Amino acid sequence: MSKFTIKDLTLAALIAAVYAVLTVALPVPAFSGVHFRVAEAMTVLPFLFPSATPGLFVGCIIANLFSPYPLDVVCGSAATLIACLLTQRMPNRWLASLPPVVCNMVIVGAEIAWFEAGFGPGFGAAYAFNALTVGLGELAACVYHSLAHSYAQSVQELSALTGREYTAVNIVGGGSQDGYLNQLTANATGLPVYAGPTEGTALGNLMVQMLAAGEFPDLAAIRKAVRHSFSIQEVLPC
């Protein structure tokens, strides 16, 4: 990036604020070995917008001021900065979430292990545990938000291809039991999500066979029967 414009500065400031608020305000563990820092899903943004890097770095510094680990302001923020710089250079979007996962595993895992065990005999075991849990939390945050935004993109593409405006998203099968992902999907699409039934494949197969056997007159009757036979959860965007 050859020139940092007012637009870039505004975007960076906005990203910094969102990162800090998501980390500090949400009631999820964000400062421990087993943590799920939702804001870390934003670390893939530098792949699309290089100007997001300083915003994420500053936001991470602000958030880490609330950490119980004194070195988190330095180590945790450095991990985010390095991850963002590497993410900018990833060859495709599928690899964009790799640097945040690896950098936080290596750097933040070591920081927490040192805080818990020092550099004594227990450091190796503490490091292995914390690297694993930090990495899994980082990966989960990236995957969950990537899925939700992929769903939102798919809805937009379907609407453009069909010329129809969709008013809801239906999620069926085992994945419909994930309330957190359902909420993220509703937020990303701006549409209500109807989750369920959970046995989508088996139920769909059964309904098609019953339709062929004349048990139902049409698809509308099948859908009505399903709605009245199973609990469908409505999740509204917030």
The confidence score (pLDDT) of residue 128 equals 93
The confidence score (pLDDT) of residue 55 equals 94
27 pLDDT higher than 70: no
Calculate the average pLDDT of the chain: 87
The confidence score (pLDDT) of residue 32 equals 59
**Which residue is listed with tokens 């818990």?**
116
User: Could you tell me the fold of the domain covering 6-147?
Assistant: Arp2/3 complex 21 kDa subunit ARPC3 (1.10.1760)
5 pLDDT higher than 70: yes
Confidence of residue 158 (pLDDT cuts 50, 70, 90): very high
Q: Could you tell me the residue ranges of all domains in the chain?
A: 6-147, 169-235
Average pLDDT of the segment spanning 46-73: 90
Evaluate the CA torsion angle 67, 73, 55, 156 in order and state its sign.
Answer: negative
The confidence score (pLDDT) of residue 17 equals 93
Average pLDDT of the segment spanning 107-129: 90
pLDDT digits (tens, 9 = 90+) for 53-63: 999 999 999 99
The confidence score (pLDDT) of residue 163 equals 92
148 pLDDT higher than 80: yes
pLDDT greater at residue 84 or residue 1: 84
170: β partners: 194
Average pLDDT of the segment spanning 164-174: 90
Average pLDDT of the segment spanning 17-40: 75
Measured distance between the N- and C-terminal CA atoms of the chain, rounded to whole angstroms: 35
pLDDT digits (tens, 9 = 90+) for 121-143: 999 999 999 899 888 888 887 78
State which amino acid sits at residue 1.
Answer: M
The confidence score (pLDDT) of residue 1 equals 47
The DSSP-derived string for 40-73 is GGGGGGGGT-TTHHHHHHHHHHHHHTT-SSTTHH
